[in-house]
A and B are shown apart, each in its own frame.
Chain A
Amino acid sequence: MAMQTSHTPAHPHPAGGSAVTPPPVGEGRGGGVAATDAPLLEAQGLTLRYGPITALDDVGIEIFPGEVVAIVGESGSGKSTLLRVLSGLQRPEAGTVTYRAPDGGAADIHRMGEAAMRRLHRTDWGFVHQNPRDGLRMGVSAGGNIGERLMATGARHYGSIRDAATEWLRRVEIDPARIDMLPRQFSGGMQQRLQIARTLVTHPRLVFMDEPTGGLDVSVQARLLDLIRELVADLGLAVLLVTHDIAAARLLAHRLLVMRHGSVVEQGLTDRVLDDPQHEYTQLLVASVLAA
């Protein structure tokens, strides 16, 4: 007897033999990591309320070395709050965040002192903000923005700092001839690329990104995503990426978390979550984007 064909799929799911995403380019480049090692960052039971609003409701997450994890979900679901709490910028009411440094020592992020936290943000971590103004020093030249972060990790030799800045401008596709210009003389897309160069120049292990392509127009977004994809693969970074762009998540992320009302409602391999969403909200999210 024939399968009922009259039903309408929940979403324009790719029927028959359509494309399954190849893993993001650069998947495991450089040998990859064994599936048994410890997470770089691990959080449990994170809860945070703003008055009647539960911004985080018992959230747990882990991210492993070299892993790109995207967090998607509707506006106000708690994505930015989660990123701030994970990166120590904001304290949760309950729950713990543990960072495991490469030497094996585990640190409780919300119990370490200010100085230790600042050191972590300067060396092991990077944060790419949606608004480049939050991540750049607007009164300092492009080269200075990159060099400053290098100096904060101990670089002292002027010539090599300038060489590194030049090299990074080139990598993020900004003409090195503009090294002495101020960020505000750059377009929005260039500012964002400069912020990425400033963040990555110190080769952090873990980078937090909150809507890194948010304020940009679509063609600029595509180029920036492509750049991020390449750099992340080449440097083997672990990235925690907040985005509302499902196609960007598919392109960049190995793993996906879906948030709603402060909770993680579904998580898993990116292509599995997007092609066979289980939770009602994920089905809605996927149905509302065309061919992500």
Chain B
Amino acid sequence: MKTLHEAGPIPTSAPSDAPVIGPPAIHTQGLGKTFTLHLQGSTRIPVLRDVELAVAPGECVALSGPSGAGKSTLMRCLYGNYAAGEGRILLRHRGQEIDLVTADPRLVREIRRETLGYVSQFLRVIPRVPTLDIVAEPLRARGMPAEEARARAAALLARLNLPASLHSLPPATFSGGEQQRVNLARGFAPHYPVLLLDEPTASLDAANRDVVVALIAEAKAKGAAIIGIFHDAEVRDRVADRLFHVSPMQAAA
């Protein structure tokens, strides 16, 4: 078994200001994932095998690999959205190390509330809920008073250049880029110790990309461990301390 610090591929990019690598905030051991498609003759799609990824507080790791390699699948496993078939996902939560793979649903919810954030590529709109409340909701869930949560949400939305006139509307009719900024505000508002970002800048213009780069830098400075998928090479080079390569597996015959 590899030790944690040897785990993962050799860094392929390491800016000189890379943070000192301490004990990881999240790490996987022998993580594997195979989809079984019961409706298609039980076809098995092996996607991940023996993934050993460790990310320290203050570090940002970018997942790399060709389309279909399993980057999003890995990220969804790390969030508990996909069930890991093998291995462990160890996470520091409330001062303890917890295996997300075996944690019961209520514990996973608690971890998602306090420790683990995820920004998906597209916002899932909740009918009739105003943008401000969507962004404030994770703060409210942690017990922050409504007014304070709304104020923080509004400030973050403003920073992401979302006009105040849109804050009171549900984002259902927003453009792709506007929805993505709502999603980002929601993900960055609570300062999660571990933050997962799937294509956070895909539908953004240059000015908003810069805001996201700054938000990531600030989150790192506050000690967040960040795992991201960035197809935009420029953004990736600006935020990532190293790459973690996800290699495609041969599908089972």
Contacts and interface: CB of A to CB of B under 8 A. Distances in A.
Given A3-B251, A276-B82, A284-B39, A25 B106 contact: no
Interface string A269-284: 1011001101110011
Given A20-B81, A35-B110, A276-B83, A25 B134 contact: yes
Interface stretch (A8-16, A51-59, A128-136, A140-148): A8-16
A260 to B, nearest CB: 13
B141 A17 contact: no
Given A16-B121, A272-B80, A26 B137 contact: yes
Nearest to A64: B106
Nearest to A18: B122
Nearest to A268: B105
A162 B110 CA distance: 39
B126 A17 contact: no
B43 A7 contact: yes
Nearest to B65: A3
A10 B112 CA distance: 28
A28 B141 contact: yes
A20 B140 contact: no
Nearest to B231: A17
Interface in B191-222: 198-199, 202
B123 interface: yes
A116 interface: no
B66 interface: yes
Give the interface size bracket for A toward B. Answer: 35 or more
A10 B250 contact: no
A10 B248 contact: no
A280 B133 contact: no
Interface string B126-140: 111100011001001
B104 interface: yes
Interface string B50-77: 0000000000000000111110100010
B134 A271 contact: no
A16 B67 CA distance: 8
Contacts of A26: 137, 140-141
Given A3-B248, A19-B120, A25-B126, A9 B37 contact: yes
Given A10-B37, A280-B38, A2 B202 contact: no
B89 interface: no
Contact of B124 (A7, A9, A16, A19): A19
Given A20-B76, A27-B137, A283-B37, A32 B124 contact: no
Given A7-B43, A271-B81, A275-B76, A19 B109 contact: no
Given A17-B229, A23-B112, A254-B109, A280 B39 contact: yes
Contact of A20 (B124, B248, B250): B124
Given A35-B107, A272-B80, A17 B37 contact: no
Contacts of A64: 106
Contact of A17 (B80, B82, B199): B199
B137 A7 contact: no
Contacts of A223: 128
**Lowest 5 A-B CB distances belong to which pairs?**
A17-B121, A280-B38, A4-B251, A10-B37, A17-B198
22 contacts: A10-B38, A16-B67, A16-B121, A17-B120, A17-B121, A18-B122, A20-B76, A21-B124, A22-B134, A23-B109, A23-B112, A25-B137, A26-B141, A27-B113, A32-B113, A67-B106, A251-B127, A254-B105, A255-B105, A255-B106, A272-B80, A283-B37
